Amino acid sequence: MGWLNKAVSYFKSTPDLQEELSISQIQEWLQQRSQEIVEKHTLIPLVKEHARILEDKRWALEVQLDTWLRKVRLHPEANEIIPLFRETRQVLDLLHFSAQPVIGEVLMANQEMEQRLHKIIEKLEASGFMDDFSFLFEKSEAPSEANPLLLTLLDLDALRKKLDQTISESQYHTVQVISSKADYLQKLAVHLQRFNKEAELKKSRQHLSEQKKLEKEAYLQQLRSDKKNLDLSDLSKQKKELQEQLEEKEMEILSFFSKVKPLLQQYKELEPSNGLLFSYIKDPLSSFLQDEGLFVVDILKKITALLREGKLSLSQDTLLSSISALEGIYNQRLPALKEEFKQLEKELRELNSHIHHNFFVTKVDDAAYRLEHYDKQAQKLQDEITVLTGKITKLQNLLAREKEELQSLIKSSLNRTVMISI
């Protein structure tokens, strides 16, 4: 039998085999360990028997409480004692189990019962009822040395402790704790996976935006170095020249009518209903430009005749200025001035139209806009990636720490070496 002893010795000295588990497999693995514990320690029959005993205790105590309640109503301290009975009934309400109670159901009742029993016992021990309880017994009965309610509560608590101790020794609770930590670890892994996917998507979009940005930079540079840029410069220069010429014509028109305005105002007294005359006095530039037939020339001729006849009275300086403006202006210069102004306006309109429809300008504006768009988009994505990378790093560190703790807990509690892969 020497070979058998050697074999046993070998296996005892051999370290536990290392198990490789993915994060998605750990819960199933723990369920198997839990089932092994349940079977090894016959926990299901034990729990069912515990539930049956508790229900028997519940029924007996409910009957006892009904009897005690009838006796306590006449007691001077009834207001202090009755709430203790009421809280005891609430504990007994926990001890209703299904026909085939499962472990989790009974353990949950045990846990809730522990908290409530301790509270009632503390209140009972602090009350006068703790020592004054003889009224609960009939005269023919020998009174108990200890409070009967306290003895019953302690009996229930002892039953609870007995089951809890058995469950703890079986390591059933340990597997549940490990399962909770494994569930937390899996949730962390899911969050990390989601963050990684989001980061990859943003990096892909950011890379595309950077490529587009480089393309638009190159395209815009090419456009700006194109000889057509000279065309744009020439057009702008021509536009400025036309605008300056128009301004000169406007000043000439306004200067002329400002000199003859005193005459127009005196003549208006002779023809107060003349709308054209009123318009020239109020806004000479607009009136002149809208006066297609230059009817103002006829008015100026009449004014000149009145001046010669001495029917218009002006100061010497005003008269000289008006006559100087009228001589050779209204019948020759004004029509030419109007035609020149109209021609300049036409040229400016055509030039503006040409600029607005200039293909080069449109392309430059569009390229500059798109470059700015992709630049902002790339920067925004880069900022989002930076924030997300920080979150991923923190989550990776937390996940690694939790994984190590879980593996250590499994080793120390279940004596199983497990390597978990995320």
pLDDT, tens digit, for every residue of 71-86?
888 788 888 899 999 9
Q: How confident is the model at residue 2 (pLDDT cuts 50, 70, 90)?
A: very low
Say if residue 51 is in the same domain as residue 163: yes
Q: Is residue 207 part of a domain?
A: no
User: Which domain-ending residue is among 320, 335, 358?
Assistant: 358
CB 97 within 8 A of CB 103: no
Per-residue pLDDT, 120: 93
Task: Please indicate whether residue 257 or residue 154 has the higher confidence score (pLDDT).
Answer: 154
Say if residue 150 is in the same domain as residue 60: yes
Say if residue 154 is in the same domain as residue 250: no
User: Which domain-ending residue is among 300, 329, 358?
Assistant: 358
| Helix-helix angle 103-126:148-170, to 10 degrees | 140
Tokens 């806009």 identify what position? 369
For 282, the 3-state DSSP assignment is helix
| Whole-number average pLDDT of the chain | 83
Q: How far apart are the first and last CA of the chain?
A: 47
Is pTM, for the whole model, over 0.85?
no
CB 147 within 8 A of CB 129: yes
CA distance 413 to 411: 6
Say if residue 162 is in the same domain as residue 267: no
Say if residue 254 is in the same domain as residue 155: no
Per-residue pLDDT, 93: 92
Q: Is residue 307 part of a domain?
A: yes
Give me the mean pLDDT over the 383-391 stretch.
91
Q: Is residue 160 part of a domain?
A: yes
Say if residue 268 is in the same domain as residue 162: no
Give me the mean pLDDT over the 211-228 stretch.
73
* Residue type for position 330: Y
Task: Provide, rounded to the nearest whole percent, the portion of the chain with pLDDT above 70.
Answer: 86
Residue 413's nearest CA partner among 92, 87, 34, 8 is 34
Number of domains in the chain: 2
Q: Is residue 93 part of a domain?
A: yes
CA distance 346 to 348: 5
Per-residue pLDDT, 330: 65
At a CB cut-off of 8 Å and minimum separation 6, what does 199 contact? 385, 388, 389, 392
Task: Provide, rounded to the nearest whole percent, the portion of the chain with pLDDT above 90.
Answer: 20
Q: Is residue 221 part of a domain?
A: no
Say if residue 33 is in the same domain as residue 166: yes
CA distance 62 to 92: 8
Q: Is residue 418 part of a domain?
A: no
Per-residue pLDDT, 9: 43
Q: Is residue 51 part of a domain?
A: yes
Q: How confident is the model at residue 214 (pLDDT cuts 50, 70, 90)?
A: confident
Read off the DSSP letter of residue 134.
G
Say if residue 157 is in the same domain as residue 260: no
CA distance 299 to 330: 10
CB 107 within 8 A of CB 168: no
Per-residue pLDDT, 319: 64
**Residue 165 is part of which domain span?**
29-170
Cβ-in-10-Å burial (0-12, 13-18, 19+) of 4 comes to exposed
Give me the mean pLDDT over the 238-264 stretch.
85
User: Which domain-ending residue is among 146, 170, 194?
Assistant: 170
Q: Is residue 18 part of a domain?
A: no
